[in-house]
């Protein structure tokens, strides 16, 4: 393939949601395809910042300008003085619950989906925008919370994420397909970001693939107290995202419904391990502490979404695993004879594939 020039202007003139962006780059080349070559797009000014006020940034891999993966990384979530504390347990900038700045985030050249030299990678030639959460709000928040006299947290995820969307629209004006991929907490926001991107780029096909949040429940207290009050997400959304829903009914599963109703051309899909222990940790307060109920919750959520008239393509794998995008099992994982990487390849290139669901799911 033709190598895209990788050294961008040191200072970009574009203003992104009040944020001025600058880029730094590194390069590598392996095999037939160009390996991941990340450019850091820093946004040190304006509305873009992390939970502790430190600068926000995202990363870019420039390849095919007509096909882009918009990757919403995880980063954890928080909603209390205990979970939102700026105290490190393993590395600077994050605790066991969430990352409050980006000091420990570096995409690097990874394996799994990020190994763009792998012959089975359906995204080998795609450009990438890699957006990490550093605000504890699943890329959705617009709220400043003083949890204690010593702890004030800026749940600023929506401004950060929409800055990356603005960058996508400005730098990929001829894009034909955007694949929004959300990982763990990033998958919570994935369908809403699909709708936001479709609004910005109406000529592009938008595919949404959210992984590992299928068990997040419709819980009126969580919807009101966390999504509504703590994170301020409900009030920050465009009208279509909350249309017809009071805050107590605005739940993570309904994000898929609202996005699908807003833009019926969106291709919507999800992935989950049946008994993902990390998914369990994030929803345990709202599922009465029963990890064996995760698969039932995931299946019930999908049923409710489809009962609302939305087509949600799905791939449910057995077991209590967690990571899927970075490890090599991105290629080796197969359920009922269907490899996940092949299933994704069909999702973005052909008519969407049939759902895949484990028969022996094993807790």
Helices (H), the chain: 157-171, 185-200, 220-222, 233-236, 239-242, 252-262, 277-283, 294-307, 329-332, 340-349
Classified as helix, coil or strand, 125 is coil
Q: What is the C-alpha to C-alpha distance for residues 131 and 129, in angstroms, rounded to an integer? A: 6
Q: What is the C-alpha to C-alpha distance for residues 195 and 334, in angstroms, rounded to an integer? A: 30
305 in a domain, yes or no? no
Residue 210's pLDDT is 97
Total domain count for the chain? Answer: 1
Q: What is the C-alpha to C-alpha distance for residues 280 and 202, in angstroms, rounded to an integer? A: 36
303 in a domain, yes or no? no
286 in a domain, yes or no? no
User: Domain residues for 337?
Assistant: 11-269+312-357
Q: What is the pLDDT tens value at each position of the chain, 363 positions in all?
A: 333 333 333 333 333 334 444 454 433 333 457 888 899 998 746 789 999 999 999 999 999 999 999 999 998 999 999 999 999 876 789 998 899 999 988 888 679 999 999 999 999 999 999 999 999 999 999 999 999 999 999 999 999 999 999 999 999 999 999 999 999 999 999 999 999 999 999 999 999 999 999 999 899 999 999 999 999 999 999 999 999 999 999 999 999 999 999 999 999 999 999 998 887 676 676 666 667 788 999 999 999 999 999 999 999 999 999 889 999 999 999 999 999 999 999 999 988 899 999 999 987
Q: What is the C-alpha to C-alpha distance for residues 44 and 20, in angstroms, rounded to an integer? A: 7
Q: Beta-carbon neighbour count of residue 307 at 10 Å?
A: 9
CATH number of the domain residue 88 falls in: 3.40.50
Residue 287's pLDDT is 60
237 in a domain, yes or no? yes
288 in a domain, yes or no? no
143 in a domain, yes or no? yes
DSSP string, 162-212: HHHHHHHHHH-TT--EEEEEEETHHHHHHHHHHHHHHHH-TTSEEEEEEES
108 in a domain, yes or no? yes
Residue 11's pLDDT is 31
276 in a domain, yes or no? no
At 335, which helix (H) or strand (E)? strand 334-335
Q: What is the C-alpha to C-alpha distance for residues 303 and 308, in angstroms, rounded to an integer? A: 9
**Whether the Cβ atoms of residue 154 and residue 135 lie closer than 8 Å to each other:** yes
Residue 42's pLDDT is 85
Map tokens 């969307």 to a residue: 165
Phi, psi of 2 (to 5 degrees): -75, 130
Q: Which residues contact 302 (CB under 8 A, 6 or more apart)?
A: 214, 270, 312, 314
Residue 13's pLDDT is 35
């Amino acid at each position: 393939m033709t190598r895209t020039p990788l050294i961008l202007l040191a200072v970009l003139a574009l203003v992104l949601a009040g944020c001025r962006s600058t880029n730094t780059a590194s390069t590598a080349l392996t095999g037939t395809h160009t390996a991941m070559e990340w450019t850091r797009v820093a946004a040190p000014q304006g509305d873009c910042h992390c939970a502790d006020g430190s600068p926000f940034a995202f990363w870019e891999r420039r390849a095919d300008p007509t096909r882009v993966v918009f990757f919403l990384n995880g980063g954890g979530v928080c909603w209390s003085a205990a979970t939102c504390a700026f105290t490190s347990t393993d590395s600077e900038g994050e605790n066991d619950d969430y990352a409050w700045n980006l000091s420990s985030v570096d995409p690097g050249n990874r394996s799994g989906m990020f190994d763009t030299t792998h012959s089975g990678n359906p995204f080998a030639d795609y450009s990438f925008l890699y957006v990490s959460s550093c605000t504890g709000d699943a890329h959705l928040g617009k709220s400043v919370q003083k949890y204690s006299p010593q702890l004030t947290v800026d749940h600023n995820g929506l401004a950060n994420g929409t800055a990356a969307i603005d960058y996508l629209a400005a730098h990929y004006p001829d894009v034909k397909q955007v694949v929004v991929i959300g990982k763990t907490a990033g998958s919570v926001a994935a369908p809403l970001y699909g709708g936001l991107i479709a609004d910005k780029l109406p000529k592009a096909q938008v595919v949404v693939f959210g992984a590992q949040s299928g068990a997040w429940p419709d819980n009126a207290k969580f919807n009101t107290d966390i999504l509504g009050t703590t994170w301020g997400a409900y009030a920050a959304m465009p009208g279509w995202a909350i249309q017809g829903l009071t805050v107590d009914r605005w739940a993570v599963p309904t994000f898929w419904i609202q996005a699908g109703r807003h833009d019926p051309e969106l291709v919507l899909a999800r992935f989950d391990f049946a008994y993902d222990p990390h998914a369990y940790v994030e929803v345990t307060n709202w599922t009465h502490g029963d990890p064996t109920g995760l698969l039932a919750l995931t299946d019930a959520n999908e049923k409710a979404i489809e009962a609302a008239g939305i087509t949600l393509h799905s791939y449910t794998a057995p077991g209590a695993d967690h990571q899927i995008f970075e490890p090599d099992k991105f290629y080796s994982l197969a359920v009922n004879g269907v490899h996940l990487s092949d299933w994704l390849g069909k999702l973005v290139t052909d008519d969407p594939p049939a759902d895949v669901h484990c028969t022996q799911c094993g807790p």
